[in-house]
A and B are shown apart, each in its own frame.
Chain A
Amino acid sequence: MSFLAPLFLLGALAVAAPVIFHLIRRTTRERTPFSSLLFLQPDPPRLTQRSRVEHWLLLLLRAAALVLLALAFARPFFRAPASQRNADGATKRSVLLVDVSASLRRAGLREASLAKAESVLAKAGPADSVAVLVFADGVRTLMDFSQWSAVPPESRVAQAMARLRETELTWEGTNLAEALSGAADLLRESASRIPGGDERTPEGGEITVVTDLQEGSRLTGLQGRGWLPSTTLTLSTLTPQNPGNAGIALAAEGPPPAGGGIPPARVRVYSAADTESTQFQVGWASGDGLQFEGKPLEVYVPPGQARVVSLPWPEQTSGAGRILLKGDAESFDNLIQAVPPVAAKVTAFYLGSEGADDSKQPLFFLNRALPQSRQVTLELVPLPPAAVLPEVEQGKSAVYFVGGVPAGSQLEPLKTRLAEGGLVVMVLTSAQQAPALAALAGVELEKLKLEEATRNQYAMLEGIDFRHPLFAPFADPRFSDFTKIRFWHHRRLDAEALPGSRVLAKFDSGNPAILELPVGKGRLVVLTSGWHPADSQLALSSKFVPLIASLLESGGVVRTPPAWFTAGATLTREDLGFPGGAPVSLTLPGEKSVVLGTGTPVFTQTELPGLYTASAAGKTLAFAVNPDPVESKTAPLPVEELEKLGVPVAGAAATLKTAARELTADPGAVETEGRQKLWRWIIAGALCVLIAETLLAGLTARRATVPGGTAV
């Protein structure tokens, strides 16, 4: 018989208590008052044989109850031989999660991580099932349960360690939540699949995480996650040789310099909470990435805080540069790639007969509402009906506003642009635009029935579709009030006459106000009222400028890709700046080239930090891939954070340390004990003994009762 908590057996020493009480009782009996001791002689205490037997029985019963209680608390169980355990299939299933995030690149952590992983694997018994997973931003299985079982027991650890050593550290962040979820899912899925597994196989298992558990670990998604009952998480935390770390990341761009040119790169310098030094240097790196080129900036960053500094681009820039940080011991996050921002060039064509300075016409207001920013350079080109629709330059986007009645010569190229994926905004200022609308929408003119709406009163917008990207920026209740905009005149258009159209907003009369109609690859947006004062108050309202900006953005006209991504990110074609399905050739750091094929929507080979270039159709865009900035947050994450999220961390709380150690020392014993539950029978036995003791004590007391006198 074995015991799960043998220390409780010390409680059996309490057996001495009844004996002691028994002895004490002999000397301190109750006193019997009597009127006079005149006729009595002192008499030495004597016990009769009969009472001695009764008391011995009571003593034995009480001692037995105490011993049984101590035995029950010690949680006894019968340990089955190892061969029998294997035959029973009561195997231990555990998942080993090894951190390979960028923060493991700190000095000594990789070796420590491999050593810890090896020690964890070495503890696995021959009947146990182990899966080895590595994780950074995502989880990757190196060895699953079936692969582990397929390998002979003696070479399992060596094979798993070989796979671990082959796995290189990444530059990605640490997504601990996904890793833990992945491990838990693996345990859940494989519960019925492991060899020898049967109904008695516990559902959960042990998850061991070898990680540096840094502050930057992502825990989102752990809250409210269900865990299998017997799942335990053991954290094998790595301690870095050098405490503290500082890292840099690119921040949002600053304003362009007064004299024009490239806006300076803005660098965010973060210092972890346990960093000792506070003085750092930031500057452009030389070709080898080890020295500064030019004079670096001195930055003071207190521990646990961040500072943003502006770093002007070198005068002779080749279009990309690297920024270096010096002043801390760990260098894995001290060099980042920066790419100067490239502004998107957009041409907006306005097809209408009015002059640009006519303040009563739509063009006047459009000219002032088009957003100009560092990311977008917008150019408005008015096109009178006689003008020819010009070709759009390579690398530029175009948007077409139709405010008047376009000429037939303009209509055909417009239809072509629309079909190719352009955005055309039809502003219906009069019913005469019906033929143009019918031509662009591709419907018959007779069915369109565009006419001036006759109303005595103004109209207002209602039924706005805030889920549409056009109105999504206004979805917040603070901005969603459109009732102050009054529309004096609008045109009545039957939405059913435009098959496939979507009404984004309508007037309170029920007539559509804004419609969207996909035509070919492009989109046709129809406004049934103009924004100029003759038609409405829209242009004069605060909603107009954001509405136009939203129109251009939702139409994909002014989208600019971000200048940098984190390592390991999955990039869509839009992210790369090449929407559509055309092949894109990419150059990776190390002069490696890959081609994003026609059918491939995403680019995933972003493991290495550095400068990437994407080119297609004569257009080349550069983008940078940098280590995940959260990896710079290397201060230790308190285990309590995980416990707060409901993660079943074993042995984390100091108070439970001993118990946890006892229980986790031999999880097989815990399971065996839990199955046998001998303590229940022992407690039942103790109760029976106590009942017998009570009955016997009551009987003895009744027999011993005598008509003893009392002082009244």
Chain B
Amino acid sequence: MPAKPAPDSPAAPPASMIDAKTLMSLGSLELRARAVVEGFRSGLHRSPYHGFSVEFTEYRQYTPGDDPRHLDWRVYARSDRYYIQKFEDETNLRCHLLVDQSRSMAYGSPGWSKAAYAATMAATLARFLHLQGDAVGLLCFDEGLRDYLPARNRTGHLRQLMLALDKPAGGGDTNLIRPLTRTAEMIRKRGLMVMISDFLTPLAELERALLQLTSAGNEFVIFQVLDPAEQEFGFSTPAVFEDVESRRTLFIDPAAAREGYLKKFQAHQAELEGICHKLGIVRHVASTVRPLEQALTEFFQDRLHRGRLVRRTPARRSA
């Protein structure tokens, strides 16, 4: 297991991981997700956290007080013991992926956009959880909600998720508040919520909107996808900079503006971190040049440490 890299540092990824450039050069989102998941899963099997899947069980012995409707009579016929057949959705994780598809996500300096990176990340998570048997839902948003797929674990559901994620970004401006409020209204069942966005927007009301979701008992995780140019502002030529969302233009001399930019950017990041910390939200910063596996491994390790991730081996429903 490689050492845990600093969240913002683009340290050299382990050789076994697919680098971001190779991954993003794959045309199909589904293929990208499959590639990452395969690597990720094999990585898991090689990891010291190998034995968690034994915790998984579909049956448990009947104890007085259980609903006798759930008794499995066929097992009783074979073994003369009472077993309770547990419903999948009772035991499985419900995960909702909130993916930002605003125009600012369409920016990308390394040759691929933040939106593509975010979509791959969401697709990978969805596939992984789907294979585990968890129910995965999707909410795509820009100014408002664009697409909504409820959390399910059906055949063909993953395919629909992929199609929704494959839609190009660039619908409208980023507005985090309205989609979050709407999500809180729509999703009543508790579960895991993974929000993938650049969060490059004023954070004034973000705390209140997030509070609605966390207070409802949801576990909330944030992936902040950032372009290296946004993190470092490595421009050198004076130029007219155009905001890809508002189309506003500004003449900027990077040599002079870099310092102010980084200062403000760090302040923004600190503010976001403060909100997350206050609400108990886990925040991961994912640079688009980092290998996706690395970011996800980091995520899973973090959940492991917190002891809240339910790991299961992928299994089919028993007949």
Partners in one complex: yes
Q: Which A residues form the contact surface with B (CB < 8 A)?
A: 29-48, 704, 706-712
| A35 and B242 alpha carbons, distance in the complex (Å) | 8
Q: Which residue of A lies closest to B266 (CB)?
A: A39
Q: Which residue of B lies closest to A35 (CB)?
A: B107
Contact between A709 and B227 (Cβ–Cβ < 8 Å)? yes
Question: Which of B105, B107, B201, B237 makes the CB contact (< 8 A) with A33?
Answer: B107
Contact between A46 and B242 (Cβ–Cβ < 8 Å)? no
For residue B308, CB closer than 8 A to chain A, the reply is no
Question: Which of B106, B238, B244, B250 makes the CB contact (< 8 A) with A42?
Answer: B250
Contact between A709 and B108 (Cβ–Cβ < 8 Å)? yes
Q: Which residues of A lie under 8 Å from residue B109 when comparing CB positions?
A: 707-710
Q: Which residues of A lie under 8 Å from residue B265 when comparing CB positions?
A: 39
Q: Which residues of A lie under 8 Å from residue B201 when comparing CB positions?
A: 36, 38
Question: Which of A34, A39, A45 makes the CB contact (< 8 A) with B244?
Answer: A34
Question: Which of A37, A46, A47 makes the CB contact (< 8 A) with B241?
Answer: A37
Scan B231-255; emit 1 where CB is below 8 A from any A CB, else 0: 0001111111111111011111101
Q: Which residues of A lie under 8 Å from residue B114 when comparing CB positions?
A: 35
Known contacts A40-B261, A46-B256, A712-B116; decide if A707 and B200 are in contact (CB<8 Å): no
Question: Which of B104, B239, B264 makes the CB contact (< 8 A) with A29?
Answer: B239
Contact between B243 and A34 (Cβ–Cβ < 8 Å)? yes
Looking at A32, A36, A39, the one whose CB has the most chain B CB atoms below 10 A away is: A36
Interface class of chain B by DSSP: mixed
Q: Which residues of B lie under 8 Å from residue A707 when comparing CB positions?
A: 109, 229, 234-235
Question: Which of B198, B202, B245, B257 makes the CB contact (< 8 A) with A43?
Answer: B257
Enumerate the 3 nearest inter-chain pairs by beta-carbon distance, A residue then B residue, closest first.
A709-B109, A35-B107, A39-B264
For residue B112, CB closer than 8 A to chain A, the reply is yes
Q: Which residues of B lie under 8 Å from residue A36 when comparing CB positions?
A: 104, 198, 200-201, 230, 243-245
| A550 and B198 alpha carbons, distance in the complex (Å) | 118
For residue B287, CB closer than 8 A to chain A, the reply is no
For residue B113, CB closer than 8 A to chain A, the reply is yes
For residue B260, CB closer than 8 A to chain A, the reply is yes
Nearest-Cβ distance from residue A40 to partner chain B, whole angstroms: 6
Contact between B268 and A31 (Cβ–Cβ < 8 Å)? no
Contact between B253 and A45 (Cβ–Cβ < 8 Å)? yes
Known contacts A41-B260, A712-B113; decide if A704 and B237 are in contact (CB<8 Å): yes
| A38 and B204 alpha carbons, distance in the complex (Å) | 14
Q: Which residues of B lie under 8 Å from residue A32 when comparing CB positions?
A: 235, 239-242
Q: Which residue of B lies closest to A28 (CB)?
A: B240
Interface magnitude class on chain B = 35 or more
Question: Which of A39, A47, A712 makes the CB contact (< 8 A) with B107?
Answer: A712
Known contacts A45-B253, A707-B229, A708-B109; decide if A35 and B238 are in contact (CB<8 Å): no
| A41 and B263 alpha carbons, distance in the complex (Å) | 12
Contact between A43 and B252 (Cβ–Cβ < 8 Å)? yes
Contact between A38 and B107 (Cβ–Cβ < 8 Å)? no
Nearest-Cβ distance from residue B271 to partner chain A, whole angstroms: 12
Nearest-Cβ distance from residue B240 to partner chain A, whole angstroms: 5
Q: Which residue of B lies closest to A47 (CB)?
A: B238
A-B contact list, 10 entries, CB within 8 Å = A31-B239, A31-B241, A34-B241, A35-B244, A36-B245, A40-B260, A43-B256, A708-B239, A709-B227, A712-B106
Q: Which residues of B lie under 8 Å from residue A35 when comparing CB positions?
A: 104-105, 107, 114, 198, 200, 227, 230, 243-245
| A34 and B233 alpha carbons, distance in the complex (Å) | 10
Contact between A40 and B257 (Cβ–Cβ < 8 Å)? yes
Q: Which residue of B lies closest to A712 (CB)?
A: B113
Q: Which residues of B lie under 8 Å from residue A711 when comparing CB positions?
A: 106-107, 113, 244
Q: Which B residues form the contact surface with A (CB < 8 A)?
A: 104-109, 111-114, 116, 198, 200-202, 227, 229-230, 234-246, 248-253, 255-257, 260-261, 264-265, 268
Nearest-Cβ distance from residue A509 to partner chain B, whole angstroms: 102
| A262 and B229 alpha carbons, distance in the complex (Å) | 119
Q: Which residue of A lies closest to B108 (CB)?
A: A712
Known: A32-B241, A36-B200. 6 other contacts (CB 8 A): A32-B235, A35-B243, A35-B244, A35-B245, A37-B248, A709-B108
Q: Which residues of A lie under 8 Å from residue B240 when comparing CB positions?
A: 29-32
Nearest-Cβ distance from residue A44 to partner chain B, whole angstroms: 7
Q: Which residue of A lies closest to B264 (CB)?
A: A39
Contact between A30 and B107 (Cβ–Cβ < 8 Å)? no
Contact between A30 and B239 (Cβ–Cβ < 8 Å)? yes
Contact between A706 and B237 (Cβ–Cβ < 8 Å)? yes
Nearest-Cβ distance from residue A189 to partner chain B, whole angstroms: 74
Contact between A31 and B253 (Cβ–Cβ < 8 Å)? no
| A42 and B201 alpha carbons, distance in the complex (Å) | 18
Q: Which residues of B lie under 8 Å from residue A38 when comparing CB positions?
A: 200-202, 264, 268
Q: Which residues of B lie under 8 Å from residue A37 when comparing CB positions?
A: 241, 243, 246, 248, 250
Contact between B268 and A39 (Cβ–Cβ < 8 Å)? yes
Q: Which residue of B lies closest to A37 (CB)?
A: B243
Question: Which of A39, A44, A708 makes the CB contact (< 8 A) with B235?
Answer: A708
Contact between A46 and B238 (Cβ–Cβ < 8 Å)? yes
Contact between A33 and B242 (Cβ–Cβ < 8 Å)? yes
| A32 and B249 alpha carbons, distance in the complex (Å) | 9
Q: Which residues of B lie under 8 Å from residue A709 when comparing CB positions?
A: 107-109, 227, 229
| A33 and B257 alpha carbons, distance in the complex (Å) | 16
Q: Which residues of A lie under 8 Å from residue B200 when comparing CB positions?
A: 35-36, 38
Contact between B268 and A40 (Cβ–Cβ < 8 Å)? no
Contact between B112 and A712 (Cβ–Cβ < 8 Å)? yes
Q: Which residues of B lie under 8 Å from residue A706 when comparing CB positions?
A: 234-237
Q: Which residues of A lie under 8 Å from residue B104 when comparing CB positions?
A: 35-36
Q: Which residues of B lie under 8 Å from residue A39 when comparing CB positions?
A: 260-261, 264-265, 268
Q: Which residues of B lie under 8 Å from residue A44 when comparing CB positions?
A: 251
Q: Which residues of A lie under 8 Å from residue B235 when comparing CB positions?
A: 32, 706-708
Nearest-Cβ distance from residue A671 to partner chain B, whole angstroms: 56
Nearest-Cβ distance from residue A444 to partner chain B, whole angstroms: 120
Contact between A34 and B107 (Cβ–Cβ < 8 Å)? yes
Q: Which residue of B lies closest to A705 (CB)?
A: B237
Nearest-Cβ distance from residue B143 to partner chain A, whole angstroms: 15
Contact between A41 and B238 (Cβ–Cβ < 8 Å)? no
Nearest-Cβ distance from residue A544 to partner chain B, whole angstroms: 104
| A344 and B240 alpha carbons, distance in the complex (Å) | 110
Nearest-Cβ distance from residue B248 to partner chain A, whole angstroms: 6
Q: Which residue of B lies closest to A706 (CB)?
A: B236
Nearest-Cβ distance from residue A31 to partner chain B, whole angstroms: 5
Looking at A34, A35, A43, A712, the one whose CB has the most chain B CB atoms below 10 A away is: A35
Q: Which residue of B lies closest to A38 (CB)?
A: B200
Q: Which residue of B lies closest to A708 (CB)?
A: B235
| A708 and B256 alpha carbons, distance in the complex (Å) | 17
| A98 and B245 alpha carbons, distance in the complex (Å) | 87
Nearest-Cβ distance from residue A710 to partner chain B, whole angstroms: 7
Q: Which residues of A lie under 8 Å from residue B248 when comparing CB positions?
A: 37
Known contacts A40-B252, A708-B235, A711-B106; decide if A33 and B244 are in contact (CB<8 Å): yes
| A37 and B230 alpha carbons, distance in the complex (Å) | 10
Q: Which residues of A lie under 8 Å from residue B112 when comparing CB positions?
A: 712
Q: Which residue of A lies closest to B261 (CB)?
A: A39
Q: Which residues of A lie under 8 Å from residue B250 when comparing CB positions?
A: 37, 40-43
Q: Which residue of B lies closest to A709 (CB)?
A: B109
Nearest-Cβ distance from residue A704 to partner chain B, whole angstroms: 6
| A711 and B245 alpha carbons, distance in the complex (Å) | 11
Contact between B260 and A45 (Cβ–Cβ < 8 Å)? no
Nearest-Cβ distance from residue A498 to partner chain B, whole angstroms: 110
| A43 and B200 alpha carbons, distance in the complex (Å) | 21
Looking at A31, A40, A706, the one whose CB has the most chain B CB atoms below 10 A away is: A40
Nearest-Cβ distance from residue A451 to partner chain B, whole angstroms: 115
| A44 and B251 alpha carbons, distance in the complex (Å) | 7
Nearest-Cβ distance from residue A707 to partner chain B, whole angstroms: 6
Looking at A29, A37, A710, the one whose CB has the most chain B CB atoms below 10 A away is: A37
Q: Which residues of A lie under 8 Å from residue B242 when comparing CB positions?
A: 31-34
